[in-house]
Amino acid sequence: MQTTITGLGSYLPEKILTNADLEKMVDTSNEWIIERTGVSERRILSKEESSSTMGAEAALAAIRAADISVKSIDLIIVATCSPDGMFPSTANRIQAIIGAKNAVCFDINSACNGFLSGLIVGNSLINSKQYNNALIIGSEALSRLVDWSDRNTCVLFGDGAGAVILEKSKNDAFGIVDFQFGSDGNNGDLLFATGPGSIKNELVKEAKIIMDGQNVFKHAVNTMSAVTKDLLKQTNLTIEDIDLCIPHQANIRILNAIAKNLSIDEGAMFSNVNKYGNTSAASIPIALTEAFYANMLNEGDTLLFTAFGAGLNWGSVILNWGQINKPEK
Protein backbone atom coordinates (compact mmCIF):
# COMPACT_ATOMS: atom_id res chain seq x y z
CA MET A 1 0.00 0.00 0.00
CA GLN A 2 1.16 3.52 -0.79
CA THR A 3 0.04 6.82 0.64
CA THR A 4 -0.08 9.98 -1.39
CA ILE A 5 -0.58 13.72 -0.98
CA THR A 6 -4.05 14.70 -2.19
CA GLY A 7 -4.20 18.33 -1.04
CA LEU A 8 -1.82 21.03 0.13
CA GLY A 9 -1.82 24.60 1.33
CA SER A 10 0.24 27.23 3.11
CA TYR A 11 -0.09 30.38 5.15
CA LEU A 12 2.36 33.26 5.48
CA PRO A 13 1.87 36.29 7.75
CA GLU A 14 1.37 39.65 6.08
CA LYS A 15 4.22 41.47 7.81
CA ILE A 16 7.49 41.44 5.83
CA LEU A 17 10.79 42.09 7.60
CA THR A 18 13.41 43.11 5.04
CA ASN A 19 17.18 43.22 5.31
CA ALA A 20 16.89 47.01 5.29
CA ASP A 21 14.71 46.73 8.40
CA LEU A 22 17.30 44.52 10.08
CA GLU A 23 20.04 47.04 9.32
CA LYS A 24 18.21 49.39 11.70
CA MET A 25 17.92 46.73 14.43
CA VAL A 26 21.31 45.03 14.55
CA ASP A 27 24.88 45.46 13.27
CA THR A 28 24.47 43.97 9.80
CA SER A 29 23.99 44.89 6.17
CA ASN A 30 21.94 43.68 3.24
CA GLU A 31 25.12 42.60 1.44
CA TRP A 32 26.34 40.60 4.47
CA ILE A 33 23.00 38.81 4.85
CA ILE A 34 22.63 38.02 1.14
CA GLU A 35 26.19 36.70 0.83
CA ARG A 36 25.92 34.38 3.83
CA THR A 37 22.28 33.30 3.73
CA GLY A 38 20.60 34.33 0.47
CA VAL A 39 17.69 35.74 2.50
CA SER A 40 16.24 39.09 1.40
CA GLU A 41 13.13 39.12 3.56
CA ARG A 42 11.11 36.99 5.95
CA ARG A 43 7.55 36.97 7.31
CA ILE A 44 6.76 37.87 10.93
CA LEU A 45 3.50 36.87 12.60
CA SER A 46 1.28 39.42 14.35
CA LYS A 47 0.50 39.49 18.07
CA GLU A 48 -2.82 37.80 17.36
CA GLU A 49 -1.22 34.92 15.42
CA SER A 50 0.52 31.75 16.60
CA SER A 51 1.67 28.39 15.31
CA SER A 52 -1.86 27.06 15.79
CA THR A 53 -3.64 29.89 13.95
CA MET A 54 -1.19 29.79 11.04
CA GLY A 55 -1.33 25.99 10.94
CA ALA A 56 -5.13 26.09 10.88
CA GLU A 57 -5.12 28.42 7.85
CA ALA A 58 -2.71 26.14 5.98
CA ALA A 59 -4.78 23.11 6.99
CA LEU A 60 -8.03 24.57 5.67
CA ALA A 61 -6.33 25.37 2.35
CA ALA A 62 -5.11 21.76 2.08
CA ILE A 63 -8.57 20.42 2.94
CA ARG A 64 -10.14 22.56 0.20
CA ALA A 65 -7.58 21.31 -2.32
CA ALA A 66 -8.24 17.68 -1.35
CA ASP A 67 -11.99 18.32 -1.57
CA ILE A 68 -12.74 16.39 1.62
CA SER A 69 -14.80 17.11 4.71
CA VAL A 70 -13.06 18.36 7.86
CA LYS A 71 -14.95 15.68 9.76
CA SER A 72 -13.37 12.96 7.59
CA ILE A 73 -9.90 13.76 8.94
CA ASP A 74 -8.99 11.15 11.52
CA LEU A 75 -5.35 12.08 12.21
CA ILE A 76 -3.62 15.44 12.74
CA ILE A 77 0.16 15.58 13.13
CA VAL A 78 1.80 18.95 13.65
CA ALA A 79 5.54 19.45 13.30
CA THR A 80 6.68 22.47 15.30
CA CYS A 81 9.47 23.58 17.60
CA SER A 82 7.65 26.83 18.42
CA PRO A 83 4.28 25.71 19.84
CA ASP A 84 1.69 28.04 21.37
CA GLY A 85 2.66 26.70 24.81
CA MET A 86 4.02 23.67 26.60
CA PHE A 87 0.63 21.96 26.35
CA PRO A 88 -1.88 21.13 24.98
CA SER A 89 -0.38 20.18 21.66
CA THR A 90 -0.56 22.54 18.72
CA ALA A 91 -2.36 19.74 16.87
CA ASN A 92 -5.13 19.75 19.48
CA ARG A 93 -5.44 23.52 19.19
CA ILE A 94 -5.71 23.29 15.40
CA GLN A 95 -8.29 20.52 15.73
CA ALA A 96 -10.47 22.86 17.77
CA ILE A 97 -10.02 25.79 15.35
CA ILE A 98 -10.96 23.86 12.20
CA GLY A 99 -13.56 21.57 13.78
CA ALA A 100 -11.88 18.24 12.98
CA LYS A 101 -13.61 16.59 15.92
CA ASN A 102 -12.94 13.01 14.78
CA ALA A 103 -9.16 13.34 14.56
CA VAL A 104 -6.48 11.94 16.84
CA CYS A 105 -3.93 14.73 17.41
CA PHE A 106 -0.30 15.05 18.46
CA ASP A 107 2.85 17.09 17.81
CA ILE A 108 6.32 16.15 16.59
CA ASN A 109 9.41 18.19 17.45
CA SER A 110 12.41 17.35 15.32
CA ALA A 111 12.94 20.98 14.33
CA CYS A 112 13.62 21.52 10.61
CA ASN A 113 13.20 17.80 9.91
CA GLY A 114 9.79 17.82 11.58
CA PHE A 115 7.57 17.86 8.50
CA LEU A 116 9.31 14.85 6.97
CA SER A 117 9.05 13.05 10.32
CA GLY A 118 5.33 13.82 10.40
CA LEU A 119 4.89 12.67 6.81
CA ILE A 120 6.45 9.28 7.52
CA VAL A 121 4.64 8.77 10.83
CA GLY A 122 1.39 9.57 9.02
CA ASN A 123 2.35 7.18 6.23
CA SER A 124 2.98 4.38 8.75
CA LEU A 125 -0.26 4.96 10.65
CA ILE A 126 -2.33 4.95 7.46
CA ASN A 127 -0.60 1.72 6.45
CA SER A 128 -1.64 0.27 9.82
CA LYS A 129 -5.18 0.47 8.36
CA GLN A 130 -6.52 2.31 11.42
CA TYR A 131 -6.55 5.74 9.76
CA ASN A 132 -7.56 7.00 6.34
CA ASN A 133 -7.09 10.76 6.04
CA ALA A 134 -4.12 12.38 7.79
CA LEU A 135 -3.46 16.11 8.03
CA ILE A 136 0.29 16.76 8.27
CA ILE A 137 1.21 20.33 9.20
CA GLY A 138 4.47 22.20 9.67
CA SER A 139 3.96 25.50 11.50
CA GLU A 140 6.53 27.78 13.11
CA ALA A 141 6.52 31.07 15.04
CA LEU A 142 10.31 31.30 15.16
CA SER A 143 10.40 35.09 15.48
CA ARG A 144 9.33 34.56 19.10
CA LEU A 145 12.44 32.46 19.76
CA VAL A 146 14.95 34.66 17.93
CA ASP A 147 17.53 36.71 19.83
CA TRP A 148 17.16 39.96 17.91
CA SER A 149 20.55 41.15 19.18
CA ASP A 150 22.36 38.18 17.60
CA ARG A 151 23.09 39.05 13.96
CA ASN A 152 24.19 35.49 13.18
CA THR A 153 20.74 34.02 13.88
CA CYS A 154 18.14 36.79 13.71
CA VAL A 155 18.69 37.28 9.97
CA LEU A 156 17.88 33.64 9.20
CA PHE A 157 14.47 32.79 10.56
CA GLY A 158 10.88 33.54 9.59
CA ASP A 159 7.32 32.48 10.40
CA GLY A 160 4.76 30.50 8.41
CA ALA A 161 2.89 27.24 7.97
CA GLY A 162 2.30 24.56 5.36
CA ALA A 163 0.04 21.51 5.33
CA VAL A 164 -0.78 18.43 3.27
CA ILE A 165 -3.53 15.84 3.27
CA LEU A 166 -2.12 12.31 3.17
CA GLU A 167 -4.38 9.45 2.06
CA LYS A 168 -4.21 5.91 0.74
CA SER A 169 -3.24 6.06 -2.90
CA LYS A 170 -5.84 4.88 -5.40
CA ASN A 171 -3.06 4.34 -7.92
CA ASP A 172 0.17 2.55 -6.93
CA ALA A 173 2.06 4.70 -9.42
CA PHE A 174 1.67 7.68 -7.07
CA GLY A 175 2.72 8.16 -3.48
CA ILE A 176 5.60 7.83 -1.05
CA VAL A 177 8.25 5.53 -2.50
CA ASP A 178 10.67 5.27 0.42
CA PHE A 179 12.55 7.25 3.06
CA GLN A 180 15.62 7.37 5.28
CA PHE A 181 16.25 9.23 8.55
CA GLY A 182 19.06 9.73 11.04
CA SER A 183 19.76 11.38 14.40
CA ASP A 184 22.79 12.44 16.43
CA GLY A 185 21.94 13.55 19.95
CA ASN A 186 25.62 13.92 20.83
CA ASN A 187 25.77 17.07 18.70
CA GLY A 188 22.48 18.55 19.87
CA ASP A 189 24.22 21.57 21.39
CA LEU A 190 25.20 22.83 17.93
CA LEU A 191 21.68 24.18 17.46
CA PHE A 192 19.13 24.51 20.24
CA ALA A 193 16.65 26.84 21.91
CA THR A 194 16.47 27.58 25.61
CA GLY A 195 13.33 27.57 27.80
CA PRO A 196 10.72 27.44 28.93
CA GLY A 197 11.89 24.34 30.74
CA SER A 198 14.50 22.90 33.01
CA ILE A 199 18.14 22.83 31.94
CA LYS A 200 20.82 21.64 34.39
CA ASN A 201 18.26 21.77 37.20
CA GLU A 202 17.54 25.45 36.60
CA LEU A 203 14.18 26.77 35.40
CA VAL A 204 14.73 28.75 32.20
CA LYS A 205 11.95 31.07 31.13
CA GLU A 206 13.56 32.98 28.28
CA ALA A 207 13.28 31.33 24.87
CA LYS A 208 16.25 31.95 22.60
CA ILE A 209 17.81 30.20 19.59
CA ILE A 210 21.53 29.45 19.94
CA MET A 211 23.54 28.12 16.98
CA ASP A 212 27.10 27.18 16.11
CA GLY A 213 26.76 28.30 12.50
CA GLN A 214 29.94 26.85 10.99
CA ASN A 215 29.44 23.37 12.43
CA VAL A 216 25.73 23.34 11.62
CA PHE A 217 26.58 24.23 8.02
CA LYS A 218 29.07 21.37 7.76
CA HIS A 219 26.75 18.80 9.32
CA ALA A 220 23.76 19.94 7.26
CA VAL A 221 25.56 19.64 3.93
CA ASN A 222 27.23 16.34 4.74
CA THR A 223 24.24 14.58 6.27
CA MET A 224 21.61 15.70 3.74
CA SER A 225 23.92 14.71 0.89
CA ALA A 226 24.72 11.33 2.47
CA VAL A 227 21.16 10.39 3.42
CA THR A 228 19.94 11.29 -0.06
CA LYS A 229 22.63 9.18 -1.72
CA ASP A 230 21.72 6.26 0.55
CA LEU A 231 18.03 6.65 -0.27
CA LEU A 232 18.68 6.76 -4.02
CA LYS A 233 20.70 3.57 -3.73
CA GLN A 234 17.98 1.98 -1.59
CA THR A 235 15.33 2.75 -4.23
CA ASN A 236 17.52 1.87 -7.24
CA LEU A 237 17.20 5.43 -8.51
CA THR A 238 19.75 7.98 -9.66
CA ILE A 239 19.69 11.74 -9.29
CA GLU A 240 18.70 11.93 -12.97
CA ASP A 241 15.42 10.21 -12.00
CA ILE A 242 14.50 13.12 -9.71
CA ASP A 243 12.36 15.74 -11.45
CA LEU A 244 12.43 18.24 -8.59
CA CYS A 245 14.29 18.42 -5.29
CA ILE A 246 12.50 20.40 -2.57
CA PRO A 247 14.94 20.69 0.35
CA HIS A 248 14.51 22.34 3.71
CA GLN A 249 15.12 26.03 3.09
CA ALA A 250 17.99 26.59 5.55
CA ASN A 251 20.12 29.06 3.60
CA ILE A 252 21.22 29.37 0.01
CA ARG A 253 24.83 28.33 0.65
CA ILE A 254 23.66 25.01 2.11
CA LEU A 255 21.31 24.44 -0.82
CA ASN A 256 24.04 25.22 -3.35
CA ALA A 257 26.51 22.89 -1.62
CA ILE A 258 23.97 20.04 -1.58
CA ALA A 259 23.15 20.60 -5.25
CA LYS A 260 26.86 20.40 -6.05
CA ASN A 261 27.40 17.25 -3.95
CA LEU A 262 24.45 15.48 -5.57
CA SER A 263 24.99 16.89 -9.09
CA ILE A 264 21.50 18.39 -9.15
CA ASP A 265 20.85 20.73 -12.08
CA GLU A 266 19.96 24.29 -11.12
CA GLY A 267 16.44 23.97 -12.50
CA ALA A 268 15.77 20.82 -10.48
CA MET A 269 16.46 22.42 -7.07
CA PHE A 270 13.57 24.48 -5.69
CA SER A 271 14.36 27.47 -3.50
CA ASN A 272 12.30 30.25 -1.96
CA VAL A 273 14.60 30.96 1.00
CA ASN A 274 15.18 34.50 -0.32
CA LYS A 275 11.53 35.40 0.37
CA TYR A 276 10.79 33.56 3.60
CA GLY A 277 14.06 32.67 5.30
CA ASN A 278 14.31 29.50 7.38
CA THR A 279 10.82 28.52 8.57
CA SER A 280 12.03 25.22 10.06
CA ALA A 281 9.34 22.49 9.92
CA ALA A 282 7.14 24.72 7.75
CA SER A 283 9.70 25.25 5.00
CA ILE A 284 9.16 22.11 2.91
CA PRO A 285 5.33 22.23 2.84
CA ILE A 286 5.45 25.98 2.09
CA ALA A 287 7.93 25.33 -0.75
CA LEU A 288 5.89 22.38 -2.04
CA THR A 289 2.73 24.49 -2.12
CA GLU A 290 4.52 27.32 -3.91
CA ALA A 291 5.97 24.93 -6.50
CA PHE A 292 2.51 23.44 -7.04
CA TYR A 293 0.80 26.78 -7.64
CA ALA A 294 3.68 27.84 -9.91
CA ASN A 295 2.81 24.84 -12.14
CA MET A 296 6.19 23.22 -11.49
CA LEU A 297 4.72 19.80 -10.55
CA ASN A 298 3.40 17.37 -13.12
CA GLU A 299 1.58 14.09 -12.63
CA GLY A 300 4.15 11.30 -12.43
CA ASP A 301 7.04 13.55 -11.37
CA THR A 302 9.48 12.03 -8.89
CA LEU A 303 10.11 14.44 -6.02
CA LEU A 304 12.91 14.42 -3.47
CA PHE A 305 12.52 16.03 -0.06
CA THR A 306 15.52 16.37 2.24
CA ALA A 307 15.97 18.17 5.55
CA PHE A 308 18.33 18.73 8.46
CA GLY A 309 17.55 20.22 11.84
CA ALA A 310 18.34 20.57 15.51
CA GLY A 311 18.64 17.39 17.45
CA LEU A 312 20.54 16.67 15.31
CA ASN A 313 17.94 15.13 12.98
CA TRP A 314 17.88 14.63 9.22
CA GLY A 315 16.04 12.72 6.53
CA SER A 316 15.08 12.30 2.89
CA VAL A 317 11.82 11.16 1.27
CA ILE A 318 11.08 10.22 -2.34
CA LEU A 319 7.51 10.61 -3.62
CA ASN A 320 5.86 10.09 -6.98
CA TRP A 321 3.51 13.02 -7.54
CA GLY A 322 -0.14 12.45 -8.45
CA GLN A 323 -2.89 14.75 -9.69
CA ILE A 324 -4.21 17.34 -7.21
CA ASN A 325 -7.06 19.80 -7.57
CA LYS A 326 -6.09 23.45 -7.83
CA PRO A 327 -8.87 25.46 -6.16
CA GLU A 328 -8.92 29.22 -5.93
CA LYS A 329 -6.43 30.27 -3.26
- pLDDT tens for residues 124-174? 999 999 999 999 999 999 999 999 999 999 999 999 999 999 999 988 889
Separation between Cα atoms, residue 25 and residue 42, nearest integer Å: 15
Separation between Cα atoms, residue 46 and residue 53, nearest integer Å: 11
| C-alpha separations of 294 from 187, 287, 290, 291, 326 in Å | 38, 10, 6, 5, 11
Whether 248 is a known active-site residue: answer yes
Whether 251 is a known active-site residue: answer no
Separation between Cα atoms, residue 164 and residue 287, nearest integer Å: 12
Separation between Cα atoms, residue 98 and residue 158, nearest integer Å: 24
Of residues 248, 251, 313, 320, which has the active-site annotation? 248
Q: Which CATH number fits domain 175-320: 3.40.50.300, 3.40.47.10, 3.90.1300.10, 3.40.50.620?
A: 3.40.47.10
Checking if the pLDDT of 206 tops 80, the result is no
Q: Would you state the pLDDT for residue 200?
A: 57
Confidence of residue 11 (pLDDT cuts 50, 70, 90): very high
Whole-model pTM: value is 0.96
Of residues 92, 278, 313, 320, which has the active-site annotation? 278
Q: What does the mean pLDDT of the chain come to?
A: 95
Average pLDDT over residues 110-117: 98
Whether 219 is a known active-site residue: answer no
Q: Would you state the pLDDT for residue 328?
A: 63
Question: Which positions ≥6 away from 127 have C-beta within 8 Å?
Answer: 1, 3
Q: Break the chain into its structural domains and give their ranges.
A: 3-168, 175-320
Of residues 81, 112, 154, 245, which has the active-site annotation? 112
Average pLDDT over residues 234-240: 98
Average pLDDT over residues 236-244: 98
Q: Would you state the pLDDT for residue 199?
A: 55
Topology match between the domains 3-168 and 175-320? yes
Q: Which CATH number fits domain 3-168: 3.40.1280.10, 3.40.630.30, 3.40.47.10, 3.30.420.270?
A: 3.40.47.10
* 165-203 pLDDT tens trace: 999 998 888 999 999 999 999 999 999 998 766 555 566
Average pLDDT over residues 1-26: 96
